[in-house]
Amino acid sequence: MSERINGAEALMRSFKEENVTTIFGYPGGFIIPVFDALYSYQKEFDCILTRHEQGAVHAAQGYARVTGQPGVVIVTSGPAATNVITGLADAMLDSTPLVVITGQSIVAQLGTDSFQETDVIGITQPVTKWSYQIRRAEDLPWAVARAFYIAREGRPGPVVLDLTKDAQTQLFDFEYEKCRFIRSYQPNPTPDQADLALAADLINLAKRPMAVVGQGVMLGHAEKELYEFLEKADIPAASTLLGLSIMANDYPLNMGMVGMHGNVAPNRKTGECDVLIAIGCRFSDRVTGDINTYAANANIIHFDIDPSELNKNVRVFLPVLGNVKQTLPAVTRLLKPARHTEWIASFKTYKEQEDKQVIARDLHPEGPAITMAETVKCISDKSGKQAVLVADVGQNEMVSARYFSAGPGRQFVASGGLGTMGFCLPAAVGAALGAPTSEIYAVCGDGGIQMTIQELGTIMQYQLPVKVVVLNNNFLGMVRQWQELFWDKRYSSTRMQNPDFVQLAASYHIAGRRVEKREELSEAVQQMIDHKGPYLLEVHVEEEGMVYPMIPAGQPISNIIMGPSEK
115 is a catalytic site residue:
yes
What pLDDT score was predicted for residue 1?
A: 62
Taking only the tens place, the pLDDT of each residue in 194-228 is 999 999 999 999 999 999 999 999 999 999 999 99
- pLDDT higher than threshold 80 for residue 2: no
- Taking the C-alpha atoms of residue 422 and residue 392, their distance in angstroms, rounded to an integer, is 6
Taking only the tens place, the pLDDT of each residue in 360-374 is 999 999 999 999 999
Rounded to 10°, the helix 395-403/372-382 angle is: 40
Mean pLDDT, residues 130-156 taken together:
98
Class of domain 368-541: alpha beta
Cβ contact 121:133 at 8 Å: yes
What pLDDT score was predicted for residue 168?
A: 98
- Taking the C-alpha atoms of residue 267 and residue 124, their distance in angstroms, rounded to an integer, is 36
What pLDDT score was predicted for residue 567?
A: 55
- pLDDT higher than threshold 80 for residue 304: yes
Cβ contact 229:328 at 8 Å: yes
Alpha-carbon separation of residue 374 from 182, 350, 378 (angstroms): 50, 22, 6
| Residue 203 CA neighbour count, 13 Å, CB half | 32
| Residue 372 CA neighbour count, 13 Å, CB half | 30
First to last CA, the chain: 72
Mean pLDDT, residues 85-102 taken together:
98
Residue closest to 188 by CA, chosen among 327, 322, 68: 322
Same fold for the domain at 3-174 and the one at 368-541? yes
Per-residue DSSP letter, 207: S
- Taking the C-alpha atoms of residue 471 and residue 396, their distance in angstroms, rounded to an integer, is 7
Concatenate the DSSP letters of all residues of 136-199 into one string: SGGGHHHHHHHHHHHHHSSS--EEEEEEEHHHHH-EEEE-------BTTB-SSPPPPHHHHHHH
- From the candidates 16, 45, 109, 116, give the one annotated as an active-site residue: 116
- From the candidates 53, 117, 309, 439, give the one annotated as an active-site residue: 53
- Taking the C-alpha atoms of residue 404 and residue 465, their distance in angstroms, rounded to an integer, is 19
Mean pLDDT, residues 274-293 taken together:
96
Q: Could you tell me the residue ranges of all domains in the chain? A: 3-174, 193-347, 368-541
Concatenate the DSSP letters of all residues of 298-346 into one string: SEEEEEES-GGGTTTSS--SEEEES-HHHHHHHHHTTPPP---HHHHHT
116 is a catalytic site residue:
yes
Alpha-carbon separation of residue 398 from 45, 280, 311, 416 (angstroms): 35, 21, 27, 11
- Taking the C-alpha atoms of residue 187 and residue 366, their distance in angstroms, rounded to an integer, is 53
Percent of the chain with pLDDT over 70: 99
Taking only the tens place, the pLDDT of each residue in 520-563 is 999 999 999 999 999 999 999 999 999 999 999 999 999 999 99
- Taking the C-alpha atoms of residue 98 and residue 200, their distance in angstroms, rounded to an integer, is 36
- pLDDT higher than threshold 70 for residue 165: yes
- pLDDT higher than threshold 90 for residue 141: yes
175 is a catalytic site residue:
no
Residue 110's pLDDT band, with cuts at 50, 70 and 90, is confident
Q: What is 3-174's CATH topology?
A: Rossmann fold (3.40.50)
Taking only the tens place, the pLDDT of each residue in 365-413 is 999 999 999 999 999 999 988 899 999 999 999 999 999 998 888 999 9
Mean of all residue pLDDT scores within the chain:
96
What pLDDT score was predicted for residue 234?
A: 98
404 is a catalytic site residue:
no
Residue closest to 10 by CA, chosen among 153, 145, 160: 145
Total residue length of the chain: 567
As to burial, measured by CB atoms within 10 angstroms (0-12 exposed, 13-18 middle, 19+ buried), residue 451 is buried
pTM above 0.85, yes or no: yes
- Taking the C-alpha atoms of residue 350 and residue 120, their distance in angstroms, rounded to an integer, is 50
- From the candidates 478, 528, 546, 550, give the one annotated as an active-site residue: 478
Alpha-carbon separation of residue 70 from 64, 118, 149, 208, 220 (angstroms): 5, 25, 10, 39, 14
- From the candidates 129, 165, 325, 467, give the one annotated as an active-site residue: 165
Q: What is 193-347's CATH topology?
A: Rossmann fold (3.40.50)
